[in-house]
Structure 1
Amino acid sequence: MTSQEIQTLLSKSNNAIIGVNRVNGGPQLTPVWYAWDGTSFFFTTTKDRVKYLNIKRNPSISLIVDDLETHKYVVAYGRAEIIEQNFGELLHPIVKKYAPADQVEQMVKMVTEDPSRVLVVLHPEKMLTN
C-alpha cells in the first residue's frame, strides 16, 4: 500500500484490534477506538481492565486495522507507552473520529475527568500492509 492508501484506511472509523500478551503467554485481543497521527496509534482504556494490566507488565503489543470494503489492512508491532494524566489533546482525535459531532466535547470531558482512564500510545517498530 502507498502512504496515501495507508492514511486513507487509518482515517476511516473502523475499530482497531489490539493484541497484548496475557500472563500465560497467549494473546488477548480487544477492539478499540483509535487515532493515528502519522507516526503513532492512540487508544484509551481504564486501569481496572485486564488489557491495562497486561500492557503494564509487557508493553510489547500489536494492532490491526482492516477495511471490509477494500479488504486491505495495516498491522503494527511496537511498544506501548501509557499516559495517565493530561492527555485531552491526544484524546480529542479519537473521540472526533467515532462520536457524533455534537457529543465530542462532552465525551472528551467525561473521559479526561475519569481518574481510572489512561491513554495508550503504540509507537510502531514495524508495520505491514496489504
Structure 2
Amino acid sequence: MGLIPEQHQNILKSVAFAHIATVGPDGSPQSSPVWFDWDGTYLRFGHTRKGQKFHNLQREPRVALSILDPENAYHYLELRGKVIKIEDDTDNHFVNAMAKRYMGLDVYPYRQPTDQGIIVTIKPEHFTAMG
C-alpha cells in the first residue's frame, strides 16, 4: 500500500474533509477544509485559480494535511508532501466527481461561470497517525 499503513487507508477512502495547510505570502500558515480524492499513491483536491491557496501553492509547493476519521475522532492522519502537479479542470469533471462523492449530486452546484477550476495533485512524503 505504500507510505500509508493499511489500518489508516479507511480514512483516505472516507468522505472526510482534509484540512490543508499552505504557506501564505507573509510566511504564516493558511488552513482550510477541502474535499479530496486518494488513488493509493497521490492525494488530489480541487480549487480555483483565483483562490489564495492556488497562489500559495505556486510560491511554495510544500503542504500539510490532517484528516480526521469521521467514525472515530481519535483515529486520524497527518500527511506532509509536495504539490507535483496543478492542472485545469476545464470540463469540471473533477469537481463534479467530488460533488457526487460528497453531496450525492451529479453537478457541483456552486461553480461560478468565472471560476477557473484546477486539480492539485500532492505526493505524500511523510505521515503521522493516531489510532
Q: Output the TM-score relative to the length of structure 1.
A: 0.80
Structure 1 position 16, deviation (Å): 0.4
Kept in 2, the 8 Å contact 1:87–1:119? The answer is no
Deviates more, 1:22-31 or 1:79-88: 79-88
Deviates more, 1:75-84 or 1:47-56: 75-84
Q: Which residue does the alignment assign to 1:72?
A: 75
Matched, 1:123 2:126: no
- Aligned CA-pair RMSD: 2.5
Q: Which residue does the alignment assign to 1:19?
A: 21
Kept in 2, the 8 Å contact 1:42–1:90? The answer is no
SS for the counterpart of 1:30 is strand
Kept in 2, the 8 Å contact 1:39–1:123? The answer is yes
In structure 2, runs of 5+ residues without a counterpart are: none
**Residues 109-128 of structure 1, C-alpha deviation per residue, up to 9 Å, x if partnerless?**
x96x8761100111111122
Q: Which residue does the alignment assign to 1:46?
A: 48
Count of aligned pairs:
124
More helix by share: 1
Q: 1:82 aligns with which of 82, 86, 95?
A: 86
From the superposition, tell whether residues 72 and 47 of structure 1 become closer, same or farther in structure 2 (CA, over 3 Å). same
Matched, 1:57 2:59: yes
From the superposition, tell whether residues 49 and 129 of structure 1 become closer, same or farther in structure 2 (CA, over 3 Å). same
Structure 1 position 76, deviation (Å): 1.0
Q: How many angstroms apart in 1 are the aligned matches of 2:43 and 2:9? A: 12
Q: Which residue does the alignment assign to 1:107?
A: 108
SS for the counterpart of 1:43 is strand
Kept in 2, the 8 Å contact 1:42–1:94? The answer is no
**Residues 48-67 of structure 1, C-alpha deviation per residue, up to 9 Å, x if partnerless?**
11111001111111111012
From the superposition, tell whether residues 68 and 84 of structure 1 become closer, same or farther in structure 2 (CA, over 3 Å). closer
Structure 1 position 4, deviation (Å): 3.0
In structure 1, runs of 5+ residues without a counterpart are: none
